[in-house]
Amino acid sequence: MRSDPNTRSPLTLKIAAAAGLLFMHLPILLIFVYAFTTEEKSYQWPPPGFTLRWLEVTWNRADVWQALWLSVRVAAVSTAGALVLGTLCAAAVSRSKFFGRESISLLVILPIALPGIITGIALRSAFNLADIPFSFWTIVLGHATFCIVVVYNNAVARFRRTSGNLIEASMDLGANGFQTLRYVLMPNIATALLAGGMLAFALSFDEVIVTTFTAGQQATLPIWMLEELVRPRQRPVTNVVAMVVVLVTFLPILAAYYLTKGGDNLAAREK
Amino acid sequence: MSTANAAILPPRSGPSGAASDAFWRHPTLLLFLLLTPPLLWLGIVYLGSLLALLAQSFFSIDHFTGRIDYSFTLDTYRELFTTPANIDIIVRTVLMAASVTIASAIIAFPIAYYAARYARGKWKALFYLGVMLPLWSSYLVKIYAWKLILAQEGILNWIFHKLHLYWLMDAYLSLPVIGGHSLSISYTGTFLVFVYIWLPYMILPLQASLERVPDNLLEASSDLGAKPSETFWNVIFPLALPGAIAGSIFTFSLTLGDYIVPGVIGSSRYFIGQVVYAQQGTAGNIPLAAAFTIVPMVIMGFYLWMAKRMGAFDAL
């Protein structure tokens, strides 16, 4: 049983928790201030003045648009691939017990559990050995591999809560496998797949470590950011891009949270 | 008669119907079809690449021609472990990963504890999102934010100046090892950014393990006369430890393999990730880069084995 909700928490605990949360959020908020600064040459604080000029300058930058477009395409294709592979894997693991089931979970999690640099250099050396030139597809290959786990985790959790009786009932009542999939299984797991897909998209959209090894000369948005971080050329444009990236990644996270909210809270309570 | 017939439906018609019946009768066939695509993908793309990498660490590079000699040798490993500079890099990276892990655990604990034991309803959701949003927001943007904060003309130095405490910053920067010319090019800077970026990975498992501590244990402890600090060290801490270890798997592993943070914010001294990147890129010494990646893999393997023995996986 939970403690009485009226129990007062010690003041020091409150302060420490609030300070921790502030530590996690203030740096991100700072990005929003810097996106409007009039200062061009340094990271001066406080900003000498505010302007909307850099939004326009960034809007007219072809290299930013190209990088953004490449990132969106890579994320979309990788997410699609990860959705298929992750769901298949989750369906197999949750519906039956078989030899090696545990190792499949491990195999799916491994690309994200091992440091990204290992996945990256492994893929790069494999491309080298096999004489595969860098292309759009080499990026996708890497991204889809580590996105599988996000879809898999979401789908497995939902499959566990979906009763197998529903499927048996559907089949007993004469539906064929595709009808069962379309009318019984899909409505049950759709929101979990949507949430998994959004998280996979966010993961791929933001990935930089593996991408530096598999992109060759192409620049995704994170690679563009990385170049600006190492050798700043036009700081105000970087500030604006950083702000846009924060906004773009927040939306899928919030959406994924609301899509899985009811179920996850339930699961957390059952623990 | 007719009811009995109606109860047993005729076999489904058409090829899709026949397939459905076949899958229903032979679940292993379906299982096989479900598992083949993901296993082929992960097996060929991922494990294949990992094995290729492992194999390359047993090749060597000819230092005169710069070409890779494709014959089995342990020379690359010998080079790795007998060069003092390489040992320095490994020790430096492991020490950084360990201190980042400990600091994250200390900062994460109050947040996880409050969220697990006191936050209810709206506040609980706020805490959850408050951890999830930084967890998922862009890695590079987070590093960039710290570049802004730690810059010489940035907000942190401004605060110290305004509070007339800049002598304190100067005193700190003049310390050996952790100090430096400015925070953005010191180990302290690297450390702060690592803690900031990996903190949510520590909070989530810690919170999960704290939520499973039954309240009556704490009540029993205080009924039996324990002071709050005694309850903490004898009851809460041992029960939260598996969660902290589960979180430390992430903070430790992610710090071991990162090469971007120390490159953007830090002294120019190398970490494992940076050596791997430099060796495979500009130096073109793929065998040495491959051998270097084995180090974090072995360390993590050992770490996971210890974590498993301490029951950390139940807390994940």
Residue entry with tokens 């798997």? B249
Q: With CB atoms and an 8 Å threshold, state whether B144 touches A31.
A: yes
Residue B185 resides in a domain: yes
CATH code: domain of residue B233: 1.10.3720.10
> Which residues of chain B from 261 to 290 reach within 8 Å of chain A, CB to CB?
263-264, 273, 276-277, 280, 286, 289-290
For the segment A247-258, the average pLDDT, to the nearest whole number, is 80
pLDDT of residue A82: 94
Tokens 């987070």 locate to B142
- B24 touching chain A per CB within 8 A: yes
Residue B4 confidence (pLDDT): 47
Determine the residue type at B145: A
- B301 inside domain: yes
Provide the 8-state DSSP code for A134. P
Name the pLDDT band for A267 (thresholds 50, 70, 90).
very low
Note the pLDDT of residue B7: 54
Number of domains present in the structure of chain B: 1
Residues B280, A125: C-beta atoms closer than 8 Å = yes
Domain A62-270, CATH 3.30.920.30 — does that match? no
Rounded-to-integer distance, Cα B249 and Cα B308, Å? 11
Between A7 and B297, residue with greater pLDDT: B297
- pLDDT confidence of residue B11: 66
The phi and psi torsions of B60 (rounded to 5 degrees) equal: -140, 165
Condensed to tens digits (0 to 9), the pLDDT of residues A150-167 reads 898 888 888 887 777 887
Residue B314 has a pLDDT of 62
Q: Is the pLDDT of residue A269 over 50?
A: no
How confident is chain B (316 residues) per 10-residue block, as mean pLDDT? 52 71 76 85 87 86 76 83 88 94 94 88 86 87 90 86 84 81 86 93 89 86 86 88 87 88 87 87 81 87 82 62
- Containing structural domain, residue B227: 84-315
Selected residue of A6, A8, A9, A45 to mutate for chain B interface (largest B Cβ count, 10 A): A45
Which residues in chain A are contacts of B286 at CB distance < 8 A? 125, 128
Mean pLDDT check: name the lowest of A95-99, A133-137, B181-185. Answer: A95-99
Q: For A212-232, what is each residue's pLDDT tens digit?
A: 888 888 889 999 988 888 888
- CA dist B316 and B306 (Å) reads 15
Comparison of pLDDT for B163 and A9, the residue scoring more: B163
Q: For residue range B151-210, list pLDDT tens digits in order.
A: 888 888 888 888 888 888 888 888 887 877 788 888 999 999 999 999 998 998 898 888
Contact list in A for residue B120 (CB cut-off 8 A) is 5
In this prediction, residue A7 carries a pLDDT of: 57
Interface test with A, best of B140, B202, B217, B231 (most A CBs within 10 A): B140
Contact A254 B158 (CB under 8 A): no
What local confidence, expressed as pLDDT, does residue B312 receive? 66
Q: Is the pLDDT of residue A97 over 60?
A: yes
Lookup: tokens for B70 = 């494709």
Q: What average pLDDT score do residues A173-198 get?
A: 83
B30 belongs to a structural domain: no
Q: How confident is the model at residue A75 (pLDDT cuts 50, 70, 90)?
A: very high
Asked whether residue B40 is domain-assigned, the answer is no
Separation CA A235–CA A96 (nearest Å): 54
Interatomic CA distance for residues B111 and B286, integer angstroms? 43
Question: Which chain B residues contact residue A145 at CB under 8 A?
Answer: 41-42, 45-46
Predicted confidence band of residue A79 (pLDDT cuts 50, 70, 90): very high
B9 CA to centre of own chain: 54
Distance, in angstroms, between A72 CA and closest chain B CA?
A: 15
pLDDT, position A4: 45
Residue A262's pLDDT is 57
Which residue has better confidence, A241 or B308? A241
Where do the H-state alpha helices sit in chain A? 11-34, 53-59, 62-95, 101-113, 116-129, 136-161, 164-172, 177-180, 186-206, 209-214, 221-230, 235-270
Higher-scoring residue by pLDDT: A137, B75 = A137
CA of A158, closest CA in chain B: separation in Å? 17
**Res B3: pLDDT:** 47
Q: Residue B112's pLDDT is what?
A: 92
Specify the pLDDT at position A6: 42
Interatomic CA distance for residues B108 and B243, integer angstroms:
11
Task: Kindly state whether residue B72 falls inside one of the protein's structural domains.
Answer: no
A145 close to B45: Cβ distance less than 8 angstroms: yes
Q: A126 or B71: which carries more pLDDT confidence?
A: A126
In a domain, B74, yes or no: no
Nearest Cβ partner for B107 among A23, A116, A122: A23
The answer to whether the CB atoms of B289 and A46 lie below 8 A apart is no
Q: Is 70 exceeded by the pLDDT of residue A173?
A: yes
A88:B34 CB<8 A: yes
Contacting residues of A for B49, CB less than 8 Å apart: 119, 122-123, 125-126
Distance CA B111, CA B182 (A): 30
Cα distance from N-terminal residue to C-terminal residue, chain B: 57
A77 vs B209, more confident: A77
* pLDDT band with cut points at 50, 70 and 90 for residue A268: very low
Q: A101 vs chain B: nearest CA distance in angstroms?
A: 11
Q: pLDDT (tens digit, 9 = 90+) per residue, A50-61? A: 888 888 888 888
